[in-house]
Amino acid sequence: MLLFLAILPLLAVPQAAPTPAQPPQPGLPAELVAYYSDYNFVNAFSTQLERRTLASRLHRSQDESDGRLRAVRQRMQRLAERTLPMDPGIVADRGNSLPVGQRADLLEVRAYRLDEKGGTAAVELDVIQLLPPGNAQLIRQFDQLGRDEERLTGAQLATRTSTPSVLSREIHNWTRLRGTWVRETPTQVLIVR
């Protein structure tokens, strides 16, 4: 799968700590809120190596004995189902094409534009750095924080790590296909200075 990044400069304070703003979620479709909750869950409660391993065997029926990794795998599967592949078949899928398997960050919704009638949405996000020590802190708190009924935002999770900082901003484009919201794979990356 090809991933195109459109880089646009953006003026902001360097390495700013994420601020939990008022979540703009009342009008954001539930499927999009669930996607970002799943994304943050996957990154918060697994290491990058675990995500890569799970991504490489995501489409094979294999049950995880560890409850934490089973929950991560289920969410990775949901993320894959909500992602619209770009140019499928052009590049051989080795099972690790799911972007969350390659990244170590949390996402916080900043703003969004929603066209319900046209079936499109654009979501602007803060990309919050997740360093290995902070990731380990969150994994240790899995039993306490990893409950389905509580959806934690990227900023809420980041405040539980030692050094949260915003790396960049992204814009994700969404399309509603046959009544289901799916994320388009090209990501617009805005550089934070």
pLDDT digits (tens, 9 = 90+) for 113-168: 999 999 999 999 999 999 999 999 999 999 888 765 667 788 888 888 766 788 89
User: Is the pLDDT assigned to residue 110 strictly greater than 80?
Assistant: yes
- Write out the two tokens for 56: 């490489």
Q: Which of 14-28, 44-58, 72-86 has the lowest mean pLDDT?
A: 14-28
Q: Would you say 124 and 171 are in contact if contact means Cβ atoms under 8 Å apart?
A: yes
> What was the pLDDT predicted at 62?
64
Q: Which of 68-82, 96-110, 174-188 has the lowest mean pLDDT?
A: 96-110
Element (H, E) at 48: helix 48-56
Q: Would you say 10 and 124 are in contact if contact means Cβ atoms under 8 Å apart?
A: no
- Residue 32 to residues 9, 25, 55, Cα–Cα distance (Å): 26, 9, 21
- Give strand ranges (E) for the chain: 5-10, 83-84, 105-115, 120-129, 166-177, 180-192
**Domains of the chain listed by start with CATH number:** 5-192 (3.10.450)
DSSP state of 45: T
> What was the pLDDT predicted at 155?
84
Query: Each residue of 83-97: pLDDT tens digit?
Result: 987 665 555 555 445
As a three-state string, the secondary structure of 77-131 is: HHHHHCEECCCCCCCCCCCCCCHHHCCCEEEEEEEEEEECCCCEEEEEEEEEECC
What band does 181 get if pLDDT is binned at 50, 70 and 90?
very high
